[in-house]
DNA sequence: GTCAAGATTAGT
DNA sequence: CTAATCTTGACG
Protein backbone atom coordinates (compact mmCIF):
# COMPACT_ATOMS: atom_id res chain seq x y z
CA UNK A 1 0.00 0.00 0.00
CA UNK A 2 1.14 3.55 -0.72
CA UNK A 3 3.03 5.42 1.97
CA UNK A 4 1.99 8.94 3.01
CA UNK A 5 4.41 11.57 1.69
CA UNK A 6 5.82 14.76 3.18
CA UNK A 7 3.11 16.98 1.69
CA UNK A 8 0.47 15.11 3.66
CA UNK A 9 2.02 16.27 6.94
CA UNK A 10 2.97 19.74 5.75
CA UNK A 11 -0.49 21.19 6.41
CA UNK A 12 -2.36 22.85 9.31
CA UNK A 13 -2.27 20.54 12.36
CA UNK A 14 -6.04 20.40 12.72
CA UNK A 15 -6.43 19.28 9.13
CA UNK A 16 -3.81 16.56 9.47
CA UNK A 17 -5.30 15.31 12.75
CA UNK A 18 -8.67 14.84 11.04
CA UNK A 19 -7.15 13.29 7.92
CA UNK A 20 -5.03 10.84 9.91
CA UNK A 21 -8.14 8.87 10.92
CA UNK A 22 -8.40 5.62 8.97
CA UNK A 23 -4.71 5.60 7.99
CA UNK A 24 -2.48 2.63 8.69
CA UNK A 25 0.33 3.08 11.23
CA UNK A 26 3.05 0.54 10.46
CA UNK A 27 5.97 -0.62 12.60
CA UNK A 28 8.35 -3.30 11.37
CA UNK A 29 9.46 -5.18 14.48
CA UNK A 30 11.97 -7.99 14.12
CA UNK A 31 11.26 -8.06 10.39
CA UNK A 32 7.55 -8.44 11.01
CA UNK A 33 4.82 -5.92 10.26
CA UNK A 34 2.86 -4.67 13.24
CA UNK A 35 0.11 -2.30 12.15
CA UNK A 36 -3.10 -0.63 13.13
CA UNK A 37 -5.75 1.65 11.73
CA UNK A 38 -5.72 5.07 13.40
CA UNK A 39 -9.06 5.63 15.16
CA UNK A 40 -8.30 8.50 17.56
CA UNK A 41 -6.04 11.59 17.38
CA UNK A 42 -5.50 14.93 19.11
CA UNK A 43 -4.05 18.14 17.66
CA UNK A 44 -1.44 20.13 19.60
CA UNK A 45 -0.37 23.52 18.31
CA UNK A 46 2.39 25.89 19.37
CA UNK A 47 2.20 29.43 20.70
CA UNK A 48 -1.60 29.57 20.81
CA UNK A 49 -2.11 26.32 22.69
CA UNK A 50 -1.22 26.44 26.44
CA UNK A 51 -1.76 22.68 26.69
CA UNK A 52 0.95 21.97 24.12
CA UNK A 53 4.50 21.02 25.03
CA UNK A 54 5.57 23.61 22.45
CA UNK A 55 3.67 26.50 24.05
CA UNK A 56 6.71 28.07 25.71
CA UNK A 57 9.07 27.68 22.80
CA UNK A 58 11.63 25.04 21.83
CA UNK A 59 13.46 22.96 24.47
CA UNK A 60 15.54 19.79 24.27
CA UNK A 61 12.43 17.69 24.67
CA UNK A 62 10.01 19.32 22.23
CA UNK A 63 12.51 20.46 19.60
CA UNK A 64 11.25 18.07 16.91
CA UNK A 65 7.81 19.71 17.07
CA UNK A 66 9.41 22.82 15.62
CA UNK A 67 11.22 20.96 12.88
CA UNK A 68 10.07 19.73 9.45
CA UNK A 69 6.77 17.77 9.12
CA UNK A 70 6.53 14.01 8.81
CA UNK A 71 8.75 13.22 11.79
CA UNK A 72 7.89 11.30 14.97
CA UNK A 73 7.80 13.19 18.26
CA UNK A 74 7.99 10.62 21.06
CA UNK A 75 8.08 11.65 24.71
CA UNK A 76 8.32 9.91 28.07
CA UNK A 77 5.74 10.80 30.69
CA UNK A 78 4.66 9.91 34.25
CA UNK A 79 7.88 8.01 34.80
CA UNK A 80 6.69 5.01 32.81
CA UNK A 81 4.88 5.80 29.58
CA UNK A 82 5.77 6.78 26.02
CA UNK A 83 3.48 8.58 23.57
CA UNK A 84 3.74 8.94 19.79
CA UNK A 85 3.04 12.16 17.89
CA UNK A 86 3.32 13.06 14.20
CA UNK A 87 4.91 16.44 13.47
CA UNK A 88 2.94 18.82 11.22
CA UNK A 89 3.15 22.32 9.72
CA UNK A 90 6.18 23.71 7.87
CA UNK A 91 9.72 23.65 9.21
CA UNK A 92 10.04 26.24 11.97
CA UNK A 93 6.36 26.13 12.96
CA UNK A 94 5.38 24.01 15.98
CA UNK A 95 2.59 21.46 15.64
CA UNK A 96 1.98 17.75 16.15
CA UNK A 97 -0.77 15.16 16.31
CA UNK A 98 -0.91 12.74 19.23
CA UNK A 99 -1.94 9.25 18.10
CA UNK A 100 -4.30 8.20 20.90
CA UNK A 101 -5.60 4.87 19.61
CA UNK A 102 -5.37 2.40 16.75
CA UNK A 103 -7.31 -0.69 15.80
CA UNK A 104 -4.93 -3.69 15.57
CA UNK A 105 -4.54 -5.05 12.01
CA UNK A 106 -1.26 -6.95 11.59
CA UNK A 107 1.00 -8.65 14.14
CA UNK A 108 -1.57 -8.91 16.88
CA UNK A 109 0.28 -11.73 18.64
CA UNK A 110 3.51 -9.77 18.84
CA UNK A 111 1.66 -6.72 20.14
CA UNK A 112 0.00 -8.87 22.75
CA UNK A 113 3.35 -10.20 23.85
CA UNK A 114 4.75 -6.66 24.17
CA UNK A 115 1.68 -5.72 26.21
CA UNK A 116 2.03 -8.52 28.72
CA UNK A 117 -0.62 -10.76 27.23
CA UNK A 118 -3.46 -8.28 27.60
CA UNK A 119 -6.64 -8.98 25.63
CA UNK A 120 -6.95 -7.50 22.13
CA UNK A 121 -9.52 -4.96 23.26
CA UNK A 122 -6.96 -3.38 25.62
CA UNK A 123 -3.97 -3.59 23.32
CA UNK A 124 -3.92 -0.19 21.63
CA UNK A 125 -6.79 1.91 23.00
CA UNK A 126 -4.64 4.62 24.56
CA UNK A 127 -1.49 6.60 23.57
CA UNK A 128 0.89 4.84 25.96
CA UNK A 129 -0.69 1.48 25.23
CA UNK A 130 -0.17 1.63 21.49
CA UNK A 131 3.38 2.89 21.95
CA UNK A 132 4.13 -0.14 24.09
CA UNK A 133 2.33 -2.52 21.69
CA UNK A 134 4.51 -1.27 18.85
CA UNK A 135 7.72 -1.35 20.85
CA UNK A 136 8.28 2.41 20.66
CA UNK A 137 10.35 4.35 23.17
CA UNK A 138 12.25 7.64 23.38
CA UNK A 139 14.88 6.38 20.91
CA UNK A 140 12.26 6.76 18.16
CA UNK A 141 11.97 10.48 18.76
CA UNK A 142 13.00 12.30 15.59
CA UNK A 143 12.42 9.37 13.22
CA UNK A 144 11.51 10.48 9.69
CA UNK A 145 8.28 8.67 8.83
CA UNK A 146 8.78 9.43 5.16
CA UNK A 147 12.06 7.52 4.88
CA UNK A 148 12.22 5.07 7.79
CA UNK A 149 11.88 1.37 7.00
CA UNK A 150 10.67 0.54 10.49
CA UNK A 151 8.06 3.19 11.26
CA UNK A 152 5.74 4.90 8.77
CA UNK A 153 2.15 5.48 7.67
CA UNK A 154 0.26 4.10 4.70
CA UNK A 155 -2.80 5.58 3.00
CA UNK A 156 -5.28 3.11 4.42
CA UNK A 157 -8.95 3.92 4.07
CA UNK A 158 -9.93 7.60 4.49
CA UNK A 159 -12.90 8.14 6.79
CA UNK A 160 -16.05 10.06 5.65
CA UNK A 161 -17.16 13.10 7.66
CA UNK A 162 -20.27 11.39 8.99
CA UNK A 163 -18.08 8.85 10.78
CA UNK A 164 -15.90 11.49 12.46
CA UNK A 165 -16.65 12.92 15.87
CA UNK A 166 -14.76 15.69 17.69
CA UNK A 167 -14.42 16.22 21.45
CA UNK A 168 -12.21 17.99 24.00
CA UNK A 169 -8.73 16.53 24.44
CA UNK A 170 -8.06 14.06 27.24
CA UNK A 171 -5.99 14.63 30.37
CA UNK A 172 -5.63 18.42 30.30
CA UNK A 173 -6.07 20.20 33.64
CA UNK A 174 -5.79 23.86 32.75
CA UNK A 175 -5.27 26.42 30.01
CA UNK A 176 -7.56 28.40 27.75
CA UNK A 177 -7.62 25.64 25.14
CA UNK A 178 -8.26 22.69 27.46
CA UNK A 179 -11.88 22.38 26.33
CA UNK A 180 -11.28 23.05 22.64
CA UNK A 181 -12.67 20.21 20.46
CA UNK A 182 -9.32 19.21 19.06
CA UNK A 183 -9.72 15.48 19.54
CA UNK A 184 -10.87 13.40 16.55
CA UNK A 185 -12.31 9.89 16.74
CA UNK A 186 -14.02 7.39 14.44
CA UNK A 187 -17.55 7.29 15.81
CA UNK A 188 -18.49 3.97 17.39
CA UNK A 189 -15.09 2.33 16.93
CA UNK A 190 -14.48 -0.06 19.87
CA UNK A 191 -10.79 0.83 20.16
CA UNK A 192 -11.32 4.51 20.91
CA UNK A 193 -10.24 5.44 24.46
CA UNK A 194 -12.70 7.35 26.67
CA UNK A 195 -15.50 7.07 24.04
CA UNK A 196 -17.20 10.51 23.62
CA UNK A 197 -20.47 8.88 22.57
CA UNK A 198 -20.78 7.10 25.89
CA UNK A 199 -21.39 10.43 27.59
CA UNK A 200 -19.53 11.17 30.79
CA UNK A 201 -16.40 12.58 29.17
C1' DG B 1 20.49 22.95 42.66
C1' DT B 2 15.75 22.13 43.96
C1' DC B 3 11.05 20.72 43.15
C1' DA B 4 6.37 20.19 41.55
C1' DA B 5 3.72 18.68 37.70
C1' DG B 6 2.73 15.76 34.01
C1' DA B 7 -0.81 14.96 26.37
C1' DT B 8 -1.36 7.80 31.41
C1' DT B 9 -2.56 3.40 33.10
C1' DA B 10 -3.99 -0.30 36.09
C1' DG B 11 -5.89 -1.55 40.13
C1' DT B 12 -8.87 -0.56 44.49
C1' DC C 1 -10.03 7.61 43.25
C1' DT C 2 -5.08 6.95 43.64
C1' DA C 3 -0.35 4.94 43.40
C1' DA C 4 3.40 4.17 40.40
C1' DT C 5 7.76 6.35 38.81
C1' DC C 6 11.17 9.75 36.86
C1' DT C 7 12.11 13.32 33.32
C1' DT C 8 11.60 17.99 32.25
C1' DG C 9 11.41 22.77 32.80
C1' DA C 10 10.64 26.72 35.70
C1' DC C 11 12.74 29.41 39.20
C1' DG C 12 16.34 31.28 42.08
For A90-102, write each residue's pLDDT tens digit. Answer: 999 999 999 999 9
pTM for this one?
Answer: 0.96
Residue A200, pLDDT score: 47
A56 touches strand C (CB under 7 A): yes
**In b/e form, how buried is each residue of A61-93, taking b as 16+ CB within 10 angstroms?**
ebebbbbbbbbbbbbeeeeeebbbbbbbbeeeb
Using C1' positions and the CA of A53, the closest nucleotide is: B7
- CA of A58: nearest nucleotide by C1' is C9
Q: Which residues of chain A are under the pLDDT cut of 50? A: 200-201
pLDDT tens track for A24-65: 999 999 999 999 999 999 999 999 999 999 999 999 999 999
pLDDT number for residue A199: 61
Distance, CA of A199 to C1' of B3, in Å: 37
pLDDT for the residue A201: 43
In 3D, which of A56, A61, A103, A67 has the Cα closest to residue A82?
A: A61
- Bases of strand B lying below 7 A from some protein CB: 5-10
Its CATH class, for the domain covering A6-198, is alpha beta
Protein residues bordering strand B (Cβ below 7 A): A 42, 44, 51-54, 62, 65, 73, 77-81, 83, 85, 96, 98, 115, 118, 122, 126-129, 169-174, 193
Amino acid sequence: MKRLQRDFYARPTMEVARDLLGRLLVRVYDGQRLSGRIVETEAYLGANDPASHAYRGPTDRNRVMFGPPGYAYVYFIYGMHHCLNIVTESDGVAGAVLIRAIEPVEGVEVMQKLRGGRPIAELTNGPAKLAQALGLDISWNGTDLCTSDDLFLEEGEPVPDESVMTAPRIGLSSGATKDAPWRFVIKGNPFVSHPPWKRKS
